[in-house]
C-alpha cells in the first residue's frame, strides 16, 4: 500500500476490534427475516464462512428483536442490529444483547430518542455506527444544501448525531457516509476523515465503515463497490467494509474478503487463482481449464496462489510469483512450483495433477516440493518450449503476416 492507513480510534464490536491497528474487517448483512432464527443463523454461518467478521441483521419489528435475543448467543460472529425509524427497536436490540447498533440519522430524527439510545448503549458499553445514507438524508439537510445530497450534507448529518451522543457522554462510535454514486461516496468519506481528524483534540478520528450503497447486482455492483472502497483504502481511509450487492450476501462477504486480500490488507485465507488472458500462443482452452481448476481447488480452500497459463513458452516465467501453476504445451502440462517445473503430465491430467501438487505444497511447503521434483521434468519442459518456439515462431499471433496482407490489399485497391 502506498499510503499508510490513517490513524483512527479503536472500538470493539464484540470480539472484533475496529479502527486503530486492527485489521480492516469485512461485514455483510442477512436477507432473512430476523424473526426466522434458524434461517438467519444459517445465513450468519454462511457469511462467516465466506469471510465476514461482523454480520448485521435488521431489527425492524418486535419479533425481529426477539429473534436477535436467540440469534446473538449462537452466532459465530458479532451481530449488529440495523435500526431505522423506530427508536424502540434500538432499545429492544440492546436488550437482545447485540454487539453493535446501526442508526440512520436520516430517519431517527428526534434528539430525545437519539439520546435515549446513546445513553443505553453507553451504559451497556455497546458501540453505535452512525450510518448516514445519501438516499435517506434528513430532509432539513437536503433543503439546506439545495436539494442535493452533497459530501458536506452527509458529513453534517454525522456531526449532528455525534453532538447528540456527546450530550450524554457517549462516543463509542464508527461512522459511514454511503452513497450509490461512487464519486459522491469517495468525496464524502474524504471530507469525513479530514473533518473528524480536525475536530478531534488529539487529531485521531473515529473509525470509518466504508461502502457504496445500493450498488446493484454483480458484476456492475461489484465494480462500483470496488471502485469506491478500494480507492479509499488505497488512500489509507477505512477500517471496516461492506459490499452492498443485489445478490446472495455470501457474495458480499466473499468480495470483501477477496478485496482485502488482494490489497494486502488481510492475510490470504483462501485460494487466489490467476490465469493468463490467453492469446495466439495458447495450447489449451484457458478459460475452461481455469474454471475446472477453480472448481477443483476451491473446495479445499487452500491458502495459496495458483496459476493457469495457456502456454509453456511464457507461462512459467510470467507466473513465477505464484506458489504453483500449470502451463500447457504440446499436449502436455508443465507443473511448476515458484516458476520451476517439477513435473510434466499428460494434458488431460493437468487439473488433477495441479490439485494433488497444491495439496502437497500446503502440507509440505515449497522447499520440500522443489526437492521432490522429477529430475527429468525441467529438461523435458525445455524441449517442449523450444519445439513450440520453432513451431510458432516469435510471432504466434501472425501479426506481421496479417500486416503484410493488409498492406497488399490496400495497395492493390488504390
Ligand atoms: S503467451 Fe502463453 S501464457 Fe502468455 S497469454 Fe499467451 S498463452 Fe497465456
Alpha-carbon distances of 57 from 25, 114, 204, rounded to whole Å: 17, 20, 30
CB-based contacts of 140, cutoff 8 Å, min separation 6: none
- Tell me the backbone φ, ψ of residue 249, rounded to 5 degrees: -60, -20
Round to whole Å and give the CA distance between 95 and 57.
15
**What is the distance in A from the centroid of ligand 1 to the CA of 277?**
7
Domains in the chain (CATH in brackets) are 11-262 (3.20.20.20), 272-392 (3.30.413.10)
Please give the number of the atom of ligand 1 that sits closest to the Cα of 276.
8
Question: Probe ligand 1: pick from 308, 312, 315, 326, max atoms within 8 Å of CB?
Answer: 315
- Which residue carries 458479532 as its cell? 78
Q: Which three cell numbers stand for residue 199?
A: 475536530
Residue 43 has pLDDT above 80, yes or no: yes
Residue that is written with C-alpha cell 516458476 in the block: 339
- 328 in contact with ligand 1, CB cutoff 6 A: no
Q: Is 180 in the pocket of ligand 1 (CB under 6 A)?
A: no
Beta carbon of 309 within 6 Å of any ligand 1 atom: yes
Q: Residue 196: left if φ>0, alpha if ψ -120 to 50, beta else—which one? A: alpha
Q: How far is the CA of 328 from the centre of ligand 1 (A)?
A: 10
For residue 410, the CA-to-ligand 1 centroid distance in Å is 31
Tell whether the torsion through CA atoms of 39, 43, 49 and 52 is positive or negative.
negative
DSSP per-residue codes, 95-162: HHT-SEEEE-TTT---HHHHHHHHHHHHHHT--EEEEEEGGG--HHHHHHTTTS--HHHHHHHHHHHH
Inter-CA distances, 67 with 3, 15, 57, 96, 209, Å: 42, 21, 10, 8, 25
Measured at the alpha carbon of residue 369, what is the angle toward residues 367 and 373, in degrees to the nearest 5? Answer: 115
Residues 6+ apart with CB under 8 A from 39: 32, 33
* pLDDT 10s digits, 302-360: 889 999 998 888 777 778 889 999 998 888 899 999 988 999 999 899 999 999 999 99
Query: Does residue 83 line the site of ligand 1, with CB under 6 A?
Result: no
Confidence grade of residue 282 (pLDDT, cut at 50, 70, 90): confident
388 lines ligand 1 (CB under 6 A): no
CA of 399 to the centre of ligand 1 (A): 15
Helix (H, G, I), strand (E, B) or coil at 332: strand
The closest-lying atom of ligand 1 relative to the alpha carbon of residue 281 is 7
Report CA(282)–ligand 1 centroid distance (Å). Answer: 6
Using one digit for the tens of pLDDT, what is the confidence trace for 92-119? 999 999 999 999 999 999 999 999 999 9
Q: pTM, whole model, 2 decimals?
A: 0.84
User: Helix 220-234 to helix 182-199 angle, to the nearest 10 degrees?
Assistant: 30
Amino acid at each position: 500500500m502506498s499510503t499508510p492507513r490513517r490513524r483512527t480510534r479503536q472500538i470493539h464490536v464484540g470480539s472484533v476490534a475496529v479502527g486503530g491497528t486492527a485489521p480492516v474487517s469485512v461485514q455483510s448483512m442477512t436477507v432473512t427475516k430476523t424473526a426466522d432464527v434458524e434461517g438467519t443463523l444459517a445465513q450468519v454461518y454462511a457469511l462467516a464462512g465466506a469471510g465476514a467478521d461482523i454480520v448485521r441483521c435488521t431489527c425492524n419489528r418486535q419479533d425481529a428483536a426477539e429473534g436477535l435475543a436467540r440469534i446473538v448467543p449462537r452466532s459465530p460472529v458479532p451481530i449488529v442490529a440495523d435500526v431505522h425509524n423506530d427508536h424502540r427497536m434500538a432499545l429492544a436490540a440492546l436488550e437482545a444483547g447485540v454487539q453493535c447498533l446501526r442508526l440512520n440519522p436520516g430517519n431517527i430524527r428526534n434528539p430525545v430518542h437519539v439520546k435515549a439510545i446513546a445513553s443505553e448503549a453507553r451504559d451497556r458499553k455497546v458501540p453505535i455506527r452512525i450510518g448516514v445514507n445519501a438516499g435517506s438524508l434528513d430532509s432539513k439537510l437536503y433543503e439546506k444544501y439545495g436539494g442535493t445530497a452533497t459530501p458536506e450534507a452527509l458529513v453534517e448529518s454525522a456531526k449532528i448525531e455525534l453532538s447528540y451522543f456527546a450530550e450524554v457522554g457517549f462516543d463509542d462510535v464508527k461512522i459511514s457516509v454511503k452513497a450509490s454514486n461512487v464519486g459522491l461516496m469517495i468525496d464524502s468519506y474524504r471530507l469525513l476523515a479530514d473533518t473528524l481528524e480536525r475536530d478531534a483534540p488529539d487529531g485521531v478520528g473515529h473509525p470509518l465503515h466504508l461502502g457504496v450503497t445500493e450498488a446493484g447486482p454483480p458484476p456492475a455492483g461489484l465494480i462500483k463497490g470496488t471502485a469506491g472502497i478500494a480507492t479509499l483504502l488505497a488512500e489509507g481511509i477505512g477500517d471496516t467494509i461492506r459490499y452492498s450487492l443485489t445478490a446472495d450476501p455470501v457474495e458480499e462477504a466473499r468480495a470483501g474478503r477477496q478485496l482485502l486480500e488482494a490489497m494486502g490488507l488481510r492475510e490470504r485465507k483462501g485460494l487466489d487463482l490467476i490465469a493468463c488472458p490467453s492469446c495466439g500462443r495458447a495450447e489449451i482452452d484457458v478459460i475452461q481449464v481455469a474454471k475446472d481448476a477453480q472448481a477443483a481447488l476451491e473446495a479445499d480452500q487452500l491458502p495459496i496462489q495458483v496459476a493457469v497459463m495457456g502456454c509453456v513458452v511464457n507461462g512459467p516465467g510470467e507466473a513465477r510469483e505464484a506458489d504453483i501453476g500449470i502451463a500447457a504445451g504440446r499436449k502436455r502440462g508443465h507443473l511448476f512450483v515458484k516458476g520451476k517445473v517439477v513435473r510434466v503430465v499428460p494434458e488431460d491430467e493437468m487439473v488433477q495433477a495441479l490439485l494433488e501438487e497444491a495439496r502437497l505444497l500446503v502440507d509440505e511447503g515449497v522447499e520440500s516440493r522443489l526437492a521432490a521434483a522429477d529430475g527429468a521434468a525441467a529438461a523435458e519442459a525445455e524441449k517442449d518450449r523450444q519445439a513450440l518456439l520453432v513451431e510458432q515462431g516469435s510471432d504466434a499471433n501472425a501479426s506481421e503476416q496479417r500486416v503484410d496482407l493488409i498492406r497488399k490489399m490496400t495497395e492493390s485497391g488504390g
